């Protein structure tokens, strides 16, 4: 595998000094990609396009007018729109669908001279925790090919961990960036809801979905965040909150005595791996030794998060995915006797089992007679969870927890047990329910040598603090 710097600072320094070119860089990444095809990371590889673009950016660098991300090579999760390229969402339904516009995040990357090398695999319509639910086949963890990379953005995480790119844009609804980051030993950031435009992201659950960033360090994620963040008139939920110079600020150190850190007692109870518990406790002790104020806190509504999350997200999914009917785009079932039969047959053939499961659950909780019992009650529980975080952040500045209860599990281990699979998200979904930012950074390895992450959650729009705290932990 080609040895490529995993730091944008280092890459940029080499480019500016003339010791490296974007064209050489892209070719090295392509060699890494081709050498690791068995991981099944890519759905679409933009080989010719990325080489052509690299040559153009080399000229810009020579002329001294290159953008902030010149030479930064990205992959994009295949639920985010890239103009004139396939947008499959990992589904048979959209296996032949090409989109006609760029997502706002893609447009902003390109405007700053980033290079997009391809679209990567994912759980179908971003529904899954293991990247085993794709029509295009499962993705393998590059650290141990018998194990999953996490999901639904598992291929995005693997593309960074396996040095196929510098960074990747993924999406998450309940932890689909942080959980794969933990399983693959890299850093993954989910920003505050509304910080990053969702225009061009295929919706799973609109009030939860966030586009996020995978990288190897806080600085790289910070510079990508400042490029893709900010208000977008095409997304009514995007925020006008000030965008900061996250990259430089990420390297500023805290005054430890001025920072209060809480760890959630409910997150250290049964179900958590002993190796991860020990590793997180060691990190907390290290922070104490640095002078940070560390205390135990409680989030009493934690016991409701999984139920609340799946009731609400499945309800939104059943509504969002109703547009996929075989009429306007995507797979259309042939030889259907009537329009209604065509709808049913197209959806039956086009969707995989996990998507069908969630549509059925969502339709059930929204149906007459069950709406009040489930959906309305779920919304009330969400308010309780948000209130818990408000109370917690009146006591502490940051909340630290495990990212996942275990390290990466074996391929096929939980496919037949959806509830066990859903419990992988137990520590991550609360940030999406509350709309707060959260990051997973590498925290160590278990007794099998598999990486695990530590999760840091912060107040709304304090992504800067999360990146800085990530550096304190590393």
DSSP 138-195: ----SS-TTB---SSSHHHHHHHHTTS-SEEEEEESSSTTHHHHHHHTSEEEEPPTTT
Query: 337 falls in which pLDDT band (50, 70, 90)?
Result: confident
Span 77-97, average pLDDT: 97
165 to 32, 176, 416: CA distances (angstroms): 9, 19, 33
H/E stretch holding 320: helix 305-320
pLDDT tens profile 381-438 = 999 999 999 999 999 999 999 999 999 999 999 988 888 888 889 999 999 999 999 9
pLDDT (0 to 100) of residue 339: 87
For position 2, what pLDDT does the model report? 65
Tokens 């059943």 belong to 318
Asked whether the CA dihedral 241, 242, 247, 251 is positive or negative, the reply is negative
Percent of the chain with pLDDT over 70: 100
Q: Residue 344: is its pLDDT beyond 80?
A: yes
For the segment 346-358, the average pLDDT, to the nearest whole number, is 95
From CA 12, how far away is CA 67, in angstroms rounded? 11
pLDDT at 50 over 80: yes
The 10 Å Cβ neighbour count of residue 345 is: 18
Span 111-118, mean pLDDT? 98
Judged by average pLDDT, the poorest of 16-25, 278-287, 324-333 is 324-333
Distance between CA 182 and CA 440 in Å, rounded? 6
The yes-or-no verdict on residue 349 having pLDDT over 90 is yes
> Which tens digits make up the pLDDT trace of 172-230?
999 999 999 999 999 999 999 999 999 999 999 999 999 999 999 999 999 999 999 99
Q: Is the pLDDT of residue 1 over 60?
A: no
- Across the range 71-93, mean pLDDT stands at 98
Q: Whole-structure pTM over 0.85, yes or no?
A: yes
Q: How confident is the model at residue 270 (pLDDT cuts 50, 70, 90)?
A: confident
Percent of the chain with pLDDT over 90: 92
Cα 415 to Cα 329: distance, rounded to the nearest angstrom? 30
Q: How many residues does the chain have?
A: 474
Say yes or no to pLDDT of 108 above 70.
yes
Strand ranges for 374-468 from DSSP E:
398-402, 438-445, 451-458
Q: For residue range 136-168, list pLDDT tens digits in order.
A: 999 999 999 999 999 999 999 999 999 999 999
Candidates 459, 453, 467; CA nearest to 436 is: 459
- pLDDT value at position 447? 96
Catalytic residues: 77, 152, 176
> What would the mean pLDDT of 444-471 be, rounded to a whole number?
97
What is the reported pLDDT for 331? 87
Confidence of residue 345 (pLDDT cuts 50, 70, 90): very high
Residues 27-40: pLDDT tens digits?
A: 999 999 999 999 99
The pLDDT tens digits of the residues spanning 299-317 come to 999 999 999 999 999 999 9
User: How much is the mean pLDDT over the chain?
Assistant: 96
């Amino acid at each position: 595998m080609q040895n490529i710097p995993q730091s944008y600072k280092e890459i940029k320094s080499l480019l500016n000094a003339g010791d490296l070119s974007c064209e050489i860089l892209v070719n090295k990444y392509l060699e890494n990609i081709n050498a690791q095809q068995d991981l099944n990371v890519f759905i679409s590889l933009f080989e010719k396009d990325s080489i052509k673009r690299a040559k153009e950016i080399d000229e810009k660098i020579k002329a001294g007018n290159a953008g902030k991300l010149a030479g930064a090579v990205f992959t994009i999760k295949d639920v985010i729109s890239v103009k004139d390229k396939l947008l499959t969402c990992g589904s048979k339904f959209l296996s032949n669908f090409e989109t006609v516009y760029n997502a706002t995040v893609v447009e902003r990357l390109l405007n700053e001279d980033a290079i997009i090398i391809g679209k990567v695999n994912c759980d179908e319509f971003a529904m899954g925790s293991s990247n085993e639910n794709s029509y295009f086949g499962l993705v393998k963890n590059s650290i141990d090919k018998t194990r999953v990379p996490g999901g639904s953005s598992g291929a995005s995480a693997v593309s960074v961990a396996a040095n196929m790119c510098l960074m990747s844009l993924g999406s998450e609804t309940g932890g689909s960036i942080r959980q794969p980051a933990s399983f693959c030993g890299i850093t993954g950031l989910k920003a505050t809801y509304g910080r990053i435009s969702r225009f061009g992201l295929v919706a799973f659950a609109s009030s939860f979905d966030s586009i996020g960033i995978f990288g190897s360090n806080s600085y790289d994620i910070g510079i990508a965040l400042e490029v893709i963040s900010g208000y977008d008139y095409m997304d009514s939920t995007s925020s006008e909150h000030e965008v900061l110079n996250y990259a430089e600020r990420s390297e500023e150190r805290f005054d430890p005595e001025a920072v209060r850190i809480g760890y959630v007692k409910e997150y250290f109870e049964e179900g958590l791996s002993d190796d991860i518990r020990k590793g997180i406790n060691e990190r907390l002790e290290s922070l104490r030794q640095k002078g940070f104020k560390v205390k135990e806190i409680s989030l009493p509504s934690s016991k409701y998060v999984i139920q609340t999350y799946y009731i609400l997200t499945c309800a939104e999914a059943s509504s969002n995915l109703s547009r996929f009917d075989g009429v306007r785009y995507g797979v259309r079932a042939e030889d259907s006797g009537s329009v209604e039969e065509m709808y049913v047959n197209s959806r039956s053939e086009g969707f995989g089992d996990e998507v069908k499961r969630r549509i059925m659950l969502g339709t059930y909780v929204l149906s007459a007679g069950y709406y009040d019992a489930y959906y309305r009650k779920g919304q009330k529980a969400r308010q309780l969870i948000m209130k818990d975080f408000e109370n917690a952040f009146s006591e502490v500045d940051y909340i630290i927890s495990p990212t996942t209860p275990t390290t990466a599990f074996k391929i096929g281990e939980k496919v037949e047990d959806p509830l066990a699979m859903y419990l992988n998200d137990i520590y991550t979904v609360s940030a999406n329910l509350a709309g707060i930012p959260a990051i997973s950074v590498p925290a160590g390895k278990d007794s099998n040598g598999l990486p695990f992450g530590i999760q840091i959650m912060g107040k709304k729009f304090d992504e800067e603090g999360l990146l800085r705290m990530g550096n304190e932990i590393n």
